[in-house]
Amino acid sequence: MTIQMQPPDQELWSASETGDPAAFGRLFDRYARTVYNHAFRLTGSWATAEDVTQSTFMVAWRRRGEARLVDGSALPWLLVVATNTVRTEWRSARRWRALLRRMPPERDVGEDPADEVAGRLDDERRMKQILAAVRRLPRAEREAVALCLWSGVSYREAATVLGISEVAVRSRVSRARARLTGLLCDDDKEAER
């Protein structure tokens, strides 16, 4: 039995910089699911998360010479690209909603009873509640939550990508946890009334 060793990110990224699509494809295969989950946690929408994931890797391909790998890992940089892509999506969505408000409303065709659709709607509804609470946090704490809590980036890696100390990242995560606990409890109490 032979064990196939996976090439490190640095090796794949270096090959990608020279235009090797196969190396970039392996990075995509390695991190697409994580970027997708990160995007869902930021947007609360599976469909938008798919779009953000695609956009993230398109940007990564175009800017592959500018990537900042952290300890040889491309993941923290990809997550920051995804976060920036979400911000761009939000700006576009605001403009789109403004346009839609000027149009007559569509007729409601009803919910699809399929279990998967219902599950997705429940996921999105709960994620929107969480996002509403997270959006009430200061930006620095939101970034720390998105990187460390939602996407599993280590405090050290987040510190490197954000350009701050590891202690500052830990502090932001701790404050965010405390605030989110309070905000979500308040929201749940409000919903019970």
Determine the pLDDT at residue 28.
95
Q: Are residues 77 and 160 in the same domain?
A: no
Q: Are residues 11 and 97 in the same domain?
A: yes
DSSP string, 127-155: HHHHHHHHHTS-HHHHHHIIIIIIT---H
Q: Are residues 17 and 96 in the same domain?
A: yes
Please state, in angstroms and rounded to a whole number, the distance separating the CA atoms of residues 87 and 136.
15
Q: Is 70 helix (H, G, I), strand (E, B) or coil?
A: strand
Answer yes or no: is 144 within a domain.
Answer: yes
Answer yes or no: is 113 within a domain.
Answer: no
Answer yes or no: is 141 within a domain.
Answer: yes
- β-pair partners for 70: 73
Answer yes or no: is 55 within a domain.
Answer: yes
Q: How confident is the model at residue 183 (pLDDT cuts 50, 70, 90)?
A: confident
Instruction: Point out the domain boundary residue: 54, 85, 101.
Output: 101
Answer yes or no: is 17 within a domain.
Answer: yes
Q: Are residues 138 and 178 in the same domain?
A: yes
Please state, in angstroms and rounded to a whole number, the distance separating the CA atoms of residues 139 and 24.
31
Percent of the chain whose pLDDT exceeds 90: 45
Q: Are residues 87 and 139 in the same domain?
A: no
Determine the pLDDT at residue 34.
96
Answer yes or no: is 111 within a domain.
Answer: no
Instruction: Point out the domain boundary residue: 101, 134, 162.
Output: 101
Q: What is the pLDDT of residues 59-116, one digit of tens each?
A: 999 998 888 888 889 999 999 999 999 998 888 878 888 877 777 766 555 555 567 7
Q: Are residues 94 and 11 in the same domain?
A: yes
| Cα dihedral: 81, 84, 86, 90 (round 10) | -160
Determine the pLDDT at residue 118.
67
Total of domains in the chain: 2
Q: Are residues 96 and 144 in the same domain?
A: no
Please state, in angstroms and rounded to a whole number, the distance separating the CA atoms of residues 8 and 27.
10
pTM above 0.75, yes or no: no
Mean pLDDT of the residues in the chain: 86
Q: Are residues 97 and 130 in the same domain?
A: no
The domain that contains 146 carries what CATH number? Answer: 1.10.10.10
Q: Is 176:144 a contact under the CB 8 Å cutoff? A: yes
The domain that contains 57 carries what CATH number? Answer: 1.10.1740.10
Q: Are residues 178 and 141 in the same domain?
A: yes
Q: Cβ of 175: how many Cβ atoms within 10 Å? A: 15
Give 48 or 185, the one with higher predicted confidence: 48
Q: What is the pLDDT of residues 5-15, one digit of tens each?
A: 788 989 998 99
Q: Identify the domain containing residue 183 by its residue range.
A: 125-193
